Amino acid sequence: MSFQDVFKSSFLENVGAISILDMALALVLAFGVGLFIFLVYKLTYAGVMYSSGFGVTLIALTMITTLVILAVTSNVVLSLGMVGALSIVRFRTAIKEPLDIAFLFWAIAVGIVLAAGMIPLAVFGSLFIGIVLLIFATRKDVPKPFIVVLNCDGQKSEEKAREFLMKHTKRCAVKSKTARKGQTELTCEVRLRGNDTDFINELSEMEGVQSAVLVSYNGDYMG
């Protein structure tokens, strides 16, 4: 086929470019692998607020990528137009978790590989990646950090509260301190010794402590 024959192809000639069996098989496999990616994401998620919409997006992204690559591989003209169309697309959604980027690339890569006909690579590669993520992403070598926010009457009550925290937690580090006339607000990162959080009740009842708040935190501080 010459270069001119490519551009002379009509719309009806492209209808049978991909068989229905190939399309159905590729989309079903894309859905199955995308569902596996979604399950791995759900099991390895360690953020504050889980978004089920992002998990569904991974399934849809796998299937959409497969659909696009199937169309591109069947028509040279369409592939050129697709490059121009996708080059103007801009996504402004912020990625909060670094691991979410890996899942997005995983879904796109599986869609491309499936559409290229490399089914064993897509299936076994996804199984291997899923096992690796389940092993390493769910490991918790360090106790989960918490943030304690204290409102104290003065320096003496602040020192007593800090001594109490150091005694009842594995680690206590001051992250911020706000001092006002007759009042001090202290923010500390603590590592609990277990799942017992009753110490925060005792801390709030100490003399000079107006309030004590315990908040779960999964981020990283610099320094």
All domains in the chain, ordered by first residue: 3-136 (no CATH), 145-216 (3.30.70.260)
Threshold 0.75, pTM exceeds: no
pLDDT band at 39 (very low <50, low <70, confident <90, very high): very high
Strand arrangement, sheet containing 183-191: 171-180, 183-191, 145-152, 209-216
pLDDT at residue 6 tops 70: no
Mean pLDDT calculated for residue range 78-102: 65
* Weakest mean pLDDT among 47-56, 79-88, 138-147: 79-88
Query: Is 39 in a helix, a strand, or coil?
Result: helix
Contacting residues for 16 by C-beta, under 8 A, at least 6 apart: none
Average pLDDT over residues 166-194: 83
Distances (CA, A) of 97 to 74, 154, 219: 36, 38, 10
Examine the pLDDT at 79 and tell me if it is beyond 80: no
pLDDT cut 90: percent of the chain above it: 15
Q: What's the confidence (pLDDT) of residue 94?
A: 67
What is the DSSP track for 100-151?
HHHHHHHHHHHHHHHHTT-HHHHHHHHHHHHHHHHHHTT---SPPEEEEEEE
